[in-house]
Amino acid sequence: MTAGEGARRAAQDILSDVLRKRRPLDAATEDELAHAKLSPRDAGFARAISHETLRRFGQLDALLRTFVAKLPVPHRAGPTIEILLAGICELLLLDVAPHAAVDGANRLAAADDKAVHFKPLINAALRRISREGKDVLAAQDAERLSVPDWLWQRWSDTYGEDTTRAIARAHLAQPPLDVLGTDGLASLRALPDALALPGGTVRLRDAGRIDELPGYADGHWWVQDFAASLPARLFGDVKGATVIDLCAAPGGKTAQLAAAGAHVIAVEREASRVATLKTNLERLKIAVDIVEKDLRDYAPETRAPFVLLDAPCSATGTIRRHPDLPWMKSPADIGACADAASELLDAAAGMVAEDGVLVFAVCSLEPEEGVEQIAHFLRRHPEFKRESLSPGDVYGLAELISVDGDLRTLPSYLSDQGGMDGFYAARLRRV
């Protein structure tokens, strides 16, 4: 096997899993890299090829169609399309030497019973793209091509085209790594080249392997995007109080609340996610009560003063970390997520004590999953009222507060510092 061949094969398989089988990129990457048993360097190369191909999928697909007038039919061509897209990524985005990228693609084609018949096409297209492709790429409308038509229209209707372009631009950049410490900033002093954000979050630009960073093995910190850290902070002081954290895995908000001194009851339905939650909290040496149960079937012994529901959603606010999402989701997914969250929100409401606070959050940019969800909830539940946020709730960052008084972050916010995920959260008080 030549240098990089195993990495390219792994990247090809990851792309096929995502684009053909609709598997989430993270799961496909984890499984394939575990199976391939690559060196750390080759694993990093495979990850770079597959993730950047998907991050720039709209551009690479359009460019490929510029140079290949008629693409082969997938069921007859095997992984030909994946080989071409990955090859273009190597040539134009990763700056791999043309002879290495083209030879690597040819070797992948030769090893596949179907793609081997399209080896001349692959060879000719990539050689031409190596000469002419950068000019074509530079002339593209990268922001527009990076967002599928249905999603572009939705965001333009909701936020306007200028903001939609800013969101798309944020998605095209590699996201930094945000972490929070179990003992505040004291836990994070050993991290290299760290940028302090409000609320104790520290941002790393080029983190590399997470598990090799200082303090990870000792459980001094956990990974959590700055925007994702905001919903739990909307409770204010939780020291000594009980907080029910619903849909708790993977545990970032659970750790946040426990580190702030709360007694946390973490509720999670799926056994695999419960296992992840336990593993993460054990590394952090954080103790909470974990309940493995569908929250709709969970009835706490007593209602709690604080309840957090970070509901399952379309996750369109996390595209910069999950570049496969735009190409895997559809409008139907948004409607289904909104319907499911409505049921969960009703169940969560029953767990809130009198004068208690319910915080509802989603990592979605879609109004049906956010502000419209809360409008419907308040009509169904007159015993709750919206408690509008003030700039002090979000460290003075008033732009994070919507006209309705809720939290509304966008990937384009703090763009000069690396952006943030898109989150919506509402603070509701039982009256």
- Residues designated as active site: 363
Mean pLDDT of 413-417: 94
Give the domain extent around 151: 146-172
Q: What CATH number does residue 53 fall under? A: 1.10.940.10
Whether residues 92 and 181 fall in one domain: no
State the pLDDT at residue 207: 79
- Using pLDDT thresholds of 50, 70 and 90, give the confidence band for residue 189: confident
Whether residues 60 and 87 fall in one domain: yes
Share of the chain above pLDDT 90, in %: 93
Mean pLDDT of 185-210: 88
Mean pLDDT score across all residues of the chain: 96
Whether residues 167 and 191 fall in one domain: no
Dihedral, CA of residue 258, residue 259, residue 262 and residue 266, to nearest 10: -10
- pLDDT tens per residue, range 140-157: 999 999 999 999 999 999
Closest by CA to 184, choosing from 231, 220, 211, is 220
Given 190, 205, 222, which residue is the final one in a domain? 222
For 296, the enclosing helix (H) or strand (E) is none
Whether residues 233 and 217 fall in one domain: no
Question: Which range has the worst mean pLDDT, 65-69, 161-165, 192-196?
Answer: 192-196
Would the CA dihedral through 363, 213, 239, 396 be positive or negative?
negative
State the pLDDT at residue 3: 64
- Using pLDDT thresholds of 50, 70 and 90, give the confidence band for residue 332: very high
Whether residues 215 and 189 fall in one domain: yes
Residue 405, token pair as written in the block: 């008084």
Mean pLDDT of 72-90: 95
Whether residues 161 and 235 fall in one domain: no
Q: How far is CA 194 from CA 179, 204, 206, in A?
A: 10, 5, 10
Closest by CA to 53, choosing from 98, 23, 8, is 8
Whether residues 185 and 334 fall in one domain: no
Q: Which positions ≥6 away from 60 have C-beta within 8 Å? A: 53, 85, 88, 89, 92
Listed in order, strand segments (DSSP E) in 41-135 are none
Name the one residue in this structure whose structure tokens are 């793609």.
115
Cβ atoms of 347 and 296 closer than 8 Å: yes
Q: Is pLDDT above 90 for 75?
A: no
Q: Which positions ≥6 away from 389 have C-beta within 8 Å? A: 234, 401, 405, 406, 407, 427
Q: Is pLDDT above 80 for 1?
A: no
State the pLDDT at residue 225: 97
- pLDDT tens per residue, range 337-394: 999 999 999 999 999 999 999 999 999 999 999 999 999 999 999 999 999 999 999 9
Whether residues 265 and 369 fall in one domain: yes
- pLDDT tens per residue, range 34-44: 999 999 999 99
Whether residues 208 and 357 fall in one domain: no
How many CB atoms within 10 Å of residue 343? 12
- pLDDT tens per residue, range 219-231: 999 999 999 999 9
State the pLDDT at residue 58: 97
Tally the domains of the chain. Answer: 4
State the pLDDT at residue 2: 64
Mean pLDDT of 298-321: 97
Closest by CA to 126, choosing from 147, 107, 113, 143, is 107
Whether residues 396 and 309 fall in one domain: yes
Whether residues 72 and 160 fall in one domain: no
- Using pLDDT thresholds of 50, 70 and 90, give the confidence band for residue 411: very high
State the pLDDT at residue 209: 84
Q: What CATH number does residue 415 fall under? A: 3.40.50.150
Whether residues 297 and 195 fall in one domain: no
Closest by CA to 369, choosing from 413, 406, 415, 400, is 406
Q: Is the pTM of this model over 0.85?
A: yes
